[in-house]
Amino acid sequence: MSISRKNRTFTLNNTSFIFESKFLFKEIAFVNVNVISKQLKTIFQGQPPVQKQTSKNIIFARSRSECGMWRLCVTKPGDIGDNFYLQKGSHYTMSAFIILEIQLFLNSIINSLPEVTEDIEPCINQYSQISKTIQNPKRQGTPIHIENCLFDFGSLKKMGNYEYVNSFSNPHPVNQTDLKMYSQLNKQYKRSHWPVNPTKVLMDNNIDYGFTVIDLHGSIYSMELNHNSRPYIFYYMIYSCKIEIPESIHEYTDKANKDYMFEKSVKVKNFIVPIYVSPYGESYEQLEFGLYDTYIPMKFGGKLIEFSKVLDYIQQCRNIRSFVPTCTTSYKFTGYYYDDMFNAIKVKTLNIIRAKSRLLNRTIRKSKSKSKSKSKSKSKSKSKSKSPSKK
């Protein structure tokens, strides 16, 4: 079903994002976006300002590991093909992250957009300008420490519902190690990821590793927080998720890493994951690309955390041939790590939501009860007026 231009346009301040079409490339979902900005500019001194309009075409790319969140697409010309790689910017999960209000609108219409033949040229054509934007160190604020944050639950707002359902094939290329000599890898990496004493590593494209399936549904919330007397907006999601990983996939990593638990089948309910942090009163000057002006990294226990991550990469290798190990990359569920970290926020949020729901239900019941009593009193008064008067 086609969708009108008006119904696929999202406007923020003086900038409109017109979602034109979608396509798949390397199992990644992309959306073509026409961005129209209108600004008042003074051309001649003493004359009233004139409205100037600019237009550009950009592409949003959907991340598979970051809950299906949308990022600005930018890639080098040399990164097209077998070594396809999307530039992430100076912060892996924040630099290219699209403003959430735009994302939620896009998700509401994504199924109605027409599918077209893949064309990622806009990701390449504007490489220089976009790369400078996502690498700009001025956009990154000073990291805040979760332990020192004061969360204002009185400011809690629900932004909208969210879902991400996808199925992607395994293996995904091991870009940094594919066809490289084993001797180039450091000792720690050899011990934790790879078999002993092979001469080199190959990908075996003849092995069918099946599909990893993810089904995630949740709601996104925003809340004000204070850190060292400075106000910020904290975005997060409470979600339920099912993930199925093929039996042929095995984790080949250091067992001492207990932060991320590897399971073939995952089914969780009411988990929390951090989505983003921005300064309070965002001005949105980077709207030509749909980006936040400033993003605020978070630390927990002195370590930077990644946002929107419910999946992370795992690697496995097998000595299928006696002289060359074959290796692949898949995903594993990382939600336990962040659910534990932000558990207190999740519990309080759910309690507030349930309390509001109970209050709403009581209000509805009272309203229905009042309307019933009113209708009864009206019917009684009508029957009295109709009854014959005694003489």
The pLDDT of residue 308 is above 60: yes
**Whether residue 259 has pLDDT greater than 60:** no
Which residue from 101, 84, 78, 94 is spatially nearest to 30, judged by alpha carbons? 84
pLDDT bucket at 250, cuts 50 / 70 / 90: low
182 confidence band (pLDDT: 50, 70, 90) = very low
pLDDT-derived band at 333, boundaries 50, 70, 90: confident
Vertex 130: Cα angle to 161 and 74 (nearest 5): 70
Q: What is the pLDDT of residues 39-66, one digit of tens each?
A: 766 666 777 777 788 899 999 999 988 8
Q: What are the residues whose beta carbons fall under 8 Å from the beta carbon of 124, sequence distance 6 or more?
A: 75, 76, 77, 80
Q: Count of alpha carbons within 13 Å of 284, Cβ hemisphere only?
A: 15
Residue range 309-329: mean pLDDT, rounded: 57
This prediction's pTM: 0.80
What is the β-pairing status of strands 50-62 and 70-72?
Answer: antiparallel
Q: Which residues contact 230 (CB under 8 A, 6 or more apart)?
A: 279
Residue with tokens 């077998």: 82
Structure-model confidence comparison of residues 211 and 4, the more confident one: 4
pLDDT of amino acid 310? 86
Q: In the prediction, which pLDDT does 119 show?
A: 83
- The residue with greater pLDDT, 145 or 85, is 145
Pinpoint the alpha helices (H) of the chain.
100-109, 121-125, 127-135, 187-193, 335-341, 343-386
Q: What is the DSSP letter of 358?
A: H
Average pLDDT, the chain: 80
User: What are the domain boundaries of the chain?
Assistant: 6-358
Q: Which residues contact 183 (CB under 8 A, 6 or more apart)?
A: none
Q: What per-residue confidence (pLDDT) applies to 11?
A: 94
Q: Helices (H) and strands (E) in the chain — how many of each? A: 6, 14
Average pLDDT estimate for 250-263:
53
pLDDT of residue 124: 85
| pLDDT value at 133 more than 60 | yes
Using CA atoms in the order 168, 169, 171, 174, what is the torsion angle rounded to 10 degrees?
-40
